[in-house]
Each structure stands twice: as structure tokens, then as C-alpha cells.
Structure 1
Amino acid sequence: MVSASRSGEERGEENVTRGDGDGAAGVDPQQLWLSPVRSGRGRKPAFSRQAITTAAVALADAEGLEAVTMRRVAAQVGAGVMSLYNYAPDKETLLELMVDHVSGELPATDPLTGDWRTDLKAIGHLQRALMLRHPWLPAALSSRRSLGPRTLAFLERALAALRPTGLDGAAKLEVFAQLTGFVAAHVAHEIAQAATAQSPDRAAAEARYLAAVVADGHHPELAEALAAPGRPLTPEATFTRFLDRLIDGLDTDADTG
């Protein structure tokens, strides 16, 4: 009996680690977000879905998504591995819970200015800050399939910010998806760049190489671009420039569906 139980746990753990099986494709959002959590029979457990999700987020923050397995999370909350499946049957479901959990850090009730571009830029900066605090989030968003209550609260605020545009509902959802996708991609690149930051010597070598390339006269556009005055290269300044271009370039009058 012990051997059979251990074998079941190991098979379940293997599926969670690999993300095999139906995963999030089989998740019923209504059951996940609106139905009471099944804790199983017997005495009241010493942990909860909230505790499990918090432990998983802490693991991902410290060690990345690969560290988030049912076995590791169970150890954090002091529970048996199999008991966790009552709360999250697979890693995809756990990711849904984790994303919605950290989305609660986004302010959903702060007043808006009424200037939709200003408000949308503020939302973009809030998203970037959240993703930098939780570097696993951009990757998790790429496979996400449902919207939990905390995410919905922030989405409601974003849609309210877009009300002055006069866009229809579908277009407003597209704009928010475009903004979120941009922020996630930018932050993922920002994190990767920080992890592989060039040494001063390597940066100088790259500069010498480009100078040699443009000196041959075959790359006039690149030569002109490199000769232009430099701009602040801090991560915050770079993100702000890119975000401004994205938001300022949105032409709501031209959106005809």
C-alpha cells in the first residue's frame, strides 16, 4: 500500500513538473474561481489554497518557475503531496492561481485622470513594476487561459481608463492585451539583458566593431543612426520611451473593426 501511494505521488509529481496532461486546457474557470475549494474529508487541514499559492509564488520569486513543483510546495506548507491536488490538480492550475495572486498587488481602485493616454501609461508602468518583482510572470502569462478575480478587477480599471476613447468593447480589450503583451515582452528582455550584462571591455569591443562596420560606407542608414545624439539608457528611461511610442501612436479614430 505504501509503495502504491509513493508511486502515485511520483507519477503526479512528474506530470506537474513537466506540465503534461490536459493542464489548463481542461480547467473550468467557473469551477476554479467561483466554486468552493474541496479540502477532502476528515479534519480541517492546516493549510489552504491561499497558503499553497503564496508558497508557490515565493518559490518562483526565489528560484524561477522550474522550482515550483507540488513536492516543493507541499514541503513549504507542511502537507502531503497528494493532498495538494484537492486545491490545484496540476501545475497549470497552480500557475493560474499564482498569476491571479500577484495581480492583487496592482491597484484596482485608484482614481483615473480622465486622460486615457496618461492613465494607460500609468497602467503600463504598474505592470512593469509587478513583473520585475515577480520575474517569472511574463513566462506564466504566455500560457495563461483564464482570468481570476484580482486580474478582473485590474482589467475593469483598464477598461474604465479607455472609456474616453470611444472604442467598442472588443477594441478596448485588444488595446489592453496589446499593452500587456508589450510590457511582458519588454520585461522578459530587460531581465535577460540584466542577467547577461556586458563588461565594459565587451561593450567597448562592440562599439569598435560597429564603428568599423559603418566606416566602409555600405551601411549609411546605420551610420546616421549611430551618429545621432545618445539617449538615457537606464532601464526605466528606455521602457518609458518605448511605452510612450506605443500609447501615443494608438489612433483610436482609425479603428473601424
Structure 2
Amino acid sequence: MSRDGRPDAAGVDAEQLWLRPAEPRRGRRPSFSREAITGAAVALADAEGLDAVTMRRVAAQVGAGVMSLYSYAPDKETLLELMVDHVSGELVIKEPPSGDWRADLRAVAHLQRAHMLRHPWLPAALSTRRVPGPNTLAFLEHALAVLRPTGLDGAARLEVFAQLTAFVAGHVGHEIAQRAAVRSPGRVAAEARYLAAVAADGHHPELAEALAAPGRPLTPDATFARFLGRLIDGVGTD
């Protein structure tokens, strides 16, 4: 059962969701729209996280009764689909691909990262299969065009985009968790002493070598760019 007491849906009907107009089934036309419902749900998730998004809370935000929302979003899974596509409308790319697919793919990834940092609930929402709506499809179309110069076939380009999105989502999820973690200076110093002791014990030569290597910038932006570069270097290789 859902949190609102309704049976969980067997799955989202993509045809019904994206190809047919969102109209209430019967009765007096309400004073709100699917867009308003979705926007209210996004605002809740941005402020309080996905757990705060219930049909009851969303209904209160738009000033409606809970049952009236089900004509537009019959369950939370459908609402999540709407939310993901709604915020995907922010992924606006005005220029066509330049032909330098590596630079263009970096730009795609950096755009995704900024987007997910604005909406910290997105990495979790993307961890389960989503049915791409019109905004998501527009961004996907651009990413596939970016990858065309690689010579990969269409299926492989889809895989690369899925891999890139999974990488960005995982990295941003880790970023968000690290920001939330509170570590005192004393704890940080204790961790450094512990690693130094481990490196000096003679039983971990690989780790000792890694810790002795020249340091790299550890800012979130620099770390993301470095990891992303390694991923892109592997695109197009078997």
C-alpha cells in the first residue's frame, strides 16, 4: 500500500502519461493543473527531500482534496516521473553540438551535475528506471547527437549516455552526503594520523605509494572534472 492508503501501481503507463492529455476523469473542472501539482511536488522535494512528497502534502500545497489529484497522478511513482521530466526542462542547450564530442560530453555532464545539485533528490529518483518524458527526451536527443562523431552505433551511444548519467548521479549523491557530514578538525587530524600509521606499517605498500603521490586538488569541481575525464577517455574503446 502507498503512504496515502492506496494500492501501489503495477507500473507507470507511459502512453497514458505522455501521449494523452492530462484531464480529470469526471466532475467539475478543478482550479489546478498537472503542471501545478508537479511544481508543488518539486518544491517539496527541493525543500525537504523525496520522503516529504506525499499526495496529501502536495494536495495541501495546491489547495485541493487528495482524491482530486489521482486523476492527474494516480500514484507517487507517476508523480515522480512527472517531477523528473518537469525539472529536466531546465536542461536547456541552445547551441548544436560543436563536433568535438569530448568537449561537448563534458559540457553535458557538467550541466547534469549542476542540475542535480539544484535538486538534491534527483540522484535517488534516477536510481530506478524512469520513462523519459518530452523534456528528458530533448536532452537525450542532444546527448546522442554529441556522441555521433564517436562512430558508435545508436545502442552504444544510449549506453554511454546511461553510464554518464549514472556516474554523475552517483558522484552528486556522494557530494551531497559529504556536505551533510559534520567532521570536527580533531576527527580529521585523527584520520590523517591513522592513515599515516597504516602506510608506515609495511603491510600496505600499495596504499603507502598512493598516499605518498603528489596531491591533487580536492575541491568538488576539480574532483568531478578529474573523474569525468577518466570516464570520457574510455568512451569508444573496447
Q: TM-score range by the shorter chain?
A: over 0.9
Mapped to 2, the partners of 1:92 and 1:253 lie a distance apart of: 37
| Partner residue of 1:93 out of 78, 86, 89 | 78
Preserved CA contact (<8 Å) 1:61 1:135: yes
**Amino acid of the structure 1 residue aligned with 2:212:** A
Q: What is aligned with 2:145?
A: 160
Q: What is aligned with 1:5?
A: none
TM-score by structure 2 length? 0.95
Q: What is aligned with 2:167?
A: 182
**Amino acid of the structure 2 residue aligned with 1:124:** A
Q: What is aligned with 1:225?
A: 210
Q: What is aligned with 1:242?
A: 227
RMSD over aligned Cα, in angstroms?
1.6
Cα offsets for 1:145-197 (capped at 9, x unmatched): 31100000000000000110111110000000000000011111111111114
Report the number of matched residues: 238
TM-score by structure 1 length? 0.89
Q: Residues 11 and 36 of structure 1: is their aligned pair in 2 closer, same or farther, counting only changes over 3 Å?
A: same
Provide structure 2 residue ranges, at least 5 long, that are not aligned to the other structure.
Answer: none
**Amino acid of the structure 2 residue aligned with 1:167:** L
Mapped to 2, the partners of 1:189 and 1:45 lie a distance apart of: 41
TM-superposed CA distance for 1:30, in Å, is 1.2
Provide structure 1 residue ranges, at least 5 long, that are not aligned to the other structure.
Answer: 1-9
TM-superposed CA distance for 1:229, in Å, is 1.2
Q: What is aligned with 1:210?
A: 195
Q: Which is richer in helix?
A: 1
Percent identity, aligned pairs only, is 75
Mapped to 2, the partners of 1:67 and 1:40 lie a distance apart of: 27
Mapped to 1, the partners of 2:179 and 2:49 lie a distance apart of: 16
Q: What is aligned with 1:13?
A: 4
Preserved CA contact (<8 Å) 1:109 1:157: no
Preserved CA contact (<8 Å) 1:96 1:144: no
